[in-house]
A and B are shown apart, each in its own frame.
Chain A
Amino acid sequence: MGQDKNQINPKQIPKRLVFNLIIEFIIYGGLVTLYFLVILRYLNEPIKNLFDNNLTFYAIVSLILIVLQGVVLERLTFYILDWVGLKRFE
């Protein structure tokens, strides 16, 4: 086992990393706010009805929703910086 090939010397953290992170935060924050206003607010009531009427279906839908959002958010943040033309810091 040798040294981890991905290991980076902490002293070599580039300023670019912090800059990219800030850009990612701003874009991500904007998109997330939009998602929150458009989707989550309208989902609240139908999900509550499902919870009251069919707990088994609610459990399945819950798992699908959380997995789906996890996958989508990961993809979203992955592509944000490429989209704005900035080199990723990993």
Chain B
Amino acid sequence: MEFLISGVTINPIFLAGIGFLVGILGGFFGVGGGFIAGPLMFLTGVPMNFVVGTDLAHMTGKSIVAARRHRVLGHVDIKLGLIMVIGTIIGVEAGAQLFESLKQTGRVDQFVGWIYVAIMLVIGSFMFIESLRATQIMRTQRISANEAVGFKGLSRRIYGIRIPPMISFPVSGIPSISLWTVLLVGFISGALAGFLGVGGGFVRMPLLVYVIGVPTHIAIGTDLFEIIFSAGYGTLTHSLKGNVDIMMALVMLLGAAIGAQIGALSTRYFTGPRIRLLFSFLPFIGAILVAYKLLSGG
């Protein structure tokens, strides 16, 4: 099929297949899946500017499907998601501005790329060690999966910050937390996404679990709920710059919709620590892909 807007001809079944794959990942881990979809789309000949914008557009639709399914399972904290969206959108703009100002210094791609690799390696390593510890705690202390977190100290210290207004999130089991902490977490994940180009979900899901203290399943559902707004905002801004081939995104969404539901439903068969252990491999994959691109000069 010829996609007139981006001017490329691609087999729609292949596109729907990419959507299906990232749909499963998105529904299961609460990530956008841009680190897989982006390179695959680029390999099929889609120009880079259309890769970014079109991926964001399909992510919006996919997150609607996955978040809705997680909501049915009781895995979405809407109040938390809506508050974080504010911080995220401000963060995305701040990150993008920082990127633009760094552009003037030259070699920005190399600089940003290696920061991305470093952050992904830190997140992946931390989650890998933590989830193994949590699994061990679950076995030895016979506590529930929701309570088994390898490093609980950080969220306990965060709860100690009493800058008003204080807010509660009953769905996530958080009795009281400063509103500013939640906004800051949204801002950090948004700024990294805006600065690094991709990786919002990579950063936000671990931050929700370790910093705010949200149970893993709810962190995934809430992250997806938030992606609806942040990716929707990205779709709008990229469309205005002419970077979105919406026909391509609609075809990708045909596969992503079913993949996202399978991913979302599959979370029911895994405990929080097990999901976090599997999740820890994603940042490594993302880091390897970017490092390869940087080293090969691609």
Contacts and interface: CB of A to CB of B under 8 A. Distances in A.
B247 A44 contact: yes
B85 interface: no
Contacts of B251: 36, 40
A67 B64 contact: yes
A78 B232 CA distance: 23
A90 B264 CA distance: 10
Contact of A7 (B16, B242, B271): B271
Interface stretch (B29-37, B204-212, B253-261): B253-261
A70 B65 contact: yes
Interface in A36-63: 36, 40-41, 43-45, 47-48, 51, 55-56, 58-63
What interface size band does chain A fall in? 35 or more
Given A62-B244, A74-B68, A8 B268 contact: yes
A65 B57 CA distance: 10
Interface residues of B, number: 52
A32 B249 CA distance: 14
B74 interface: yes
Nearest to A51: B5
Interface stretch (B87-95, B111-119, B139-147, B194-202): B139-147
Given A7-B271, A8-B269, A70-B62, A65 B145 contact: no
A61 to B, nearest CB: 8
Interface of A: 1-10, 13, 21, 24-25, 28, 32, 35-36, 40-41, 43-45, 47-48, 51, 55-56, 58-63, 65-67, 69-71, 73-74, 77, 89-90
Interface of B: 1-5, 12, 16, 57-58, 60-65, 68-69, 72-75, 144-147, 173, 215, 217, 232, 235-236, 239-240, 242, 244, 246-247, 249-251, 253-254, 257-258, 261-262, 265, 268-272
